[in-house]
């Protein structure tokens, strides 16, 4: 089994998790996966015998925290706008320039029943989101408003 992708942590009113990644792309993917696992039974969606469809996600920001926040918010918006049940987000490119980062990726979804829906998330809370460099890569604590 691979490294730990994320873990849920207690929060008084909302939901919270810490995501991990060997680099920024993996950190963003794992944070998105933790959020999707709160919202959906991703294993049930993955097991649907229909091909996955992709929705493109493109974001840019001046800080890593804002890039993560914008990306997670965009994922929530796309899920809501397209009424889809998503199971994974993959970063296809992540470019870092002085004072600006750009990300392109895809949110994968399949047609699944309502029994795949677990929890509604209203928003991602930017307050207190701080990406930390660790000996194994990066970590970030994320709070979502449910």
- In this model, does residue 132 exceed pLDDT 50? yes
Is the model more confident about 3 or about 107?
107
Give the whole-number percent of the chain exceeding pLDDT 70: 99
CA of 112: how far to CAs of 44, 65, 75, 115, 117, in Å? 8, 32, 18, 8, 9
The DSSP symbol for 128 reads T
Query: Residue 54: what pLDDT?
Result: 98
- Which residues have CB under 8 Å from 26's CB, separation 6+? 91, 137
- In this model, does residue 16 exceed pLDDT 50? yes
Mean pLDDT across the stretch 6-13?
83
Give the whole-number percent of the chain exceeding pLDDT 90: 88
- In this model, does residue 1 exceed pLDDT 90? no
Mean pLDDT across the stretch 55-77?
98
- In this model, does residue 55 exceed pLDDT 90? yes
CA of 145: how far to CAs of 31, 65, 84, in Å? 15, 17, 19
Euclidean distance between CA atoms 70 and 42, whole angstroms: 22
- Which residues have CB under 8 Å from 103's CB, separation 6+? 28, 57, 58, 59, 60, 67, 71, 91, 93, 94, 95
- In this model, does residue 77 exceed pLDDT 80? yes
Residue located via tokens 């909302």: 14
The rounded mean pLDDT for the chain is: 94
Which pTM value belongs to this model? 0.94
Query: Residue 2: what pLDDT?
Result: 58
Q: What residue ranges define each of the domains in the chain, with the CATH number in brackets? A: 6-145 (3.55.10.10)
């Amino acid at each position: 089994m691979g490294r730990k992708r994320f873990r849920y942590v207690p929060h008084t009113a909302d939901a919270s998790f810490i995501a991990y990644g060997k680099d920024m792309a993996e950190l963003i993917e794992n944070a998105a996966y933790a959020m999707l696992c709160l919202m959906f039974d991703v294993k049930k969606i993955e097991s649907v015998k229909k091909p996955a469809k992709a929705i493109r996600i493109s974001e840019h920001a001046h800080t890593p925290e804002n890039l993560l926040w914008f990306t997670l918010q965009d994922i929530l918006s796309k899920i809501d706008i397209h009424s889809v049940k998503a199971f994974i987000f993959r970063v296809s490119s992540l470019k870092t320039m002085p004072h600006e980062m750009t990300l392109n990726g895809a949110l994968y979804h399949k047609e699944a029943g309502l029994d795949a829906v677990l929890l509604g998330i209203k928003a991602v809370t930017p307050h207190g989101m701080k990406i930390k460099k660790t000996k194994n890569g990066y970590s970030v604590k994320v709070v979502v408003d449910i």
